[in-house]
Structure 1
Amino acid sequence: MGWLCGGLRWAGGRPALAWYEYGQGGSGNGGPRRAGRVSEPAYGSDIAFRVTGAERRCVGARRDGCPLRAVVPGRSSGGQCPECARLDRSRSVAADTVADDPRPYAVYLAWFGPGMVKVGITADERGSARLLEQGAVAFSWLGRGPLMAARRTEELLRAALGVPDRIPYKEKRAVRTSLPGRAERAREIEELHRRAGALEGWPESLERAPFEAVDHAGVFGLEGLRPMTGVVTELAPGGVVAGRLLAAAGPDLHLGTADGGVVVLDTRLMSGWELAGAASGAAGVGVPVRSVERGVQGGLF
């Protein structure tokens, strides 16, 4: 029996690492997920862990563990085997495979940096959780209504205004330390909100929302954040990650290292690894890291 990391979650507006417990199955390779817990790292606190498992295991689907505990590649951001990934995707609103969800949905505009605004939808009951998970620095609601009405509104903005529904994480990371002020962040969303509201073809069943900018820079700890010097590309057996938590945005942790650098750890790479706290004297990052300054693989710090 052991604890597998499930990556970063946002609970109550704060970052939290999820952990899954697996029991021993008949094959000795581990059975379904049995329980879970979370840990909430605070900004300014030290984080240090060691990879204790020999292999990275699939974290399962639909809140159930992978019955085979399949091995997954270290650089996979999903942390799932193909079968579990397909099972999750088969009931995914984001993948547009669900059309009969009776819950109300909200349409939003999310801002990640200058010229980086996307449109998306989320279950209204989730509030801003989806925006925190994506690392949206600022956002505003556009409207609320049935799922298909929200979908049509999303497509309307994509077709009429050229607003994308996805922005790569690497592009979001690249601009986090050089963001304009709060007023300028809000101004770009407000202009798109105005243009969207003037479009013809909004579904009648979608209740429009007035413009109101919500800013997450403070929640993420981005004010005064130093530029990153490296990005973790994967974890590895026996590897150590240690640093001071400077910021967290979406799935990313920005860690200040002992040598004065700032390394970004995408916590999706942690999913499925058995991890344990490292010794208090641990320092630096002992897993593969790509150097941002040189733009090439930086080896092990």
Structure 2
Amino acid sequence: MAQDFNINDSLQGVWEKLGMWMDSLILSLPNFLLAVLVFILFIVAAKYIGKILSSVLKFKVKQDSIREITIKIVKVLVIAIGFFVALGLLNLNTVLTSVLAGAGVVGLAVGLALQGTLNNTFSGILLSFLPELQIGDWIENNGYAGKVIEISLRSIKIKEADNNIVIIPNSQVIDAPFKNFSRTPRSRVMVSCGVSYNSNLEQVKDLTIETIQSLYPPSTNEEVEFMYQEFGDSSINFVVRFWTNARTKKEILIAQSEAIITIKKVFDQKAINIPFPIRTIDFSNTLGIEKSSE
């Protein structure tokens, strides 16, 4: 026969259970207060670490958004460490293990889902600290050339010479070679030309070097270089290389234009011919023409 339900015994059991929980709470109260204190200390530490990091990054990173995101990430990491330390002080090893396991699974899932985005994000952080690439530089990358106007966590934005905006993902900038015209104050400029076959080649060489040296005086350890390249169809071709102050592609084009104008003017004064392309047409007729008899 089933035992009759006794409400007094049930209430007694509930009170005993609550008493055990209360005793456990009182015993663990010091650890709880210590855990709360440690967690608060980590929050305060994250705040001051963020300020110190902001002062350091102010001289390293020009992009404000990247600097702020980096500081936030560091703060979150410090607070997360404080959270796990507090759980350890509460002897919640099982909870701590479960949280870490869950974080690992969630992190793996998020990482696989956002692989491309995360790659661009980390590449953007690397680019922000890369001294070879700064806002305002003129670069060539992935077939595009322009001035860097923005570096974000996803991409860099450049403005081309035709005023069009090109957005390149950070991962492509990191993985592909890029040319930066703005990292060096001096650039070497090359101009190609040709003179007629009856020209005095020594005179042409000396005159060209003298002209370029007067237009763009070389600095220490620099020189104007002149080399004949080939016997062309209608001219003997040469290239002259010289140095000038240029940090952008436009400045290099300006230097080339000025050099071409000056060389042409000097050659005209010295009667040195820059020939047009010449084509010879043979009109000889080897076929006999027979006159019809009347």
TM-score (norm 2): 0.22
Larger relative helix fraction: 2
Larger relative strand fraction: 1
Larger Rg over CA atoms = 2
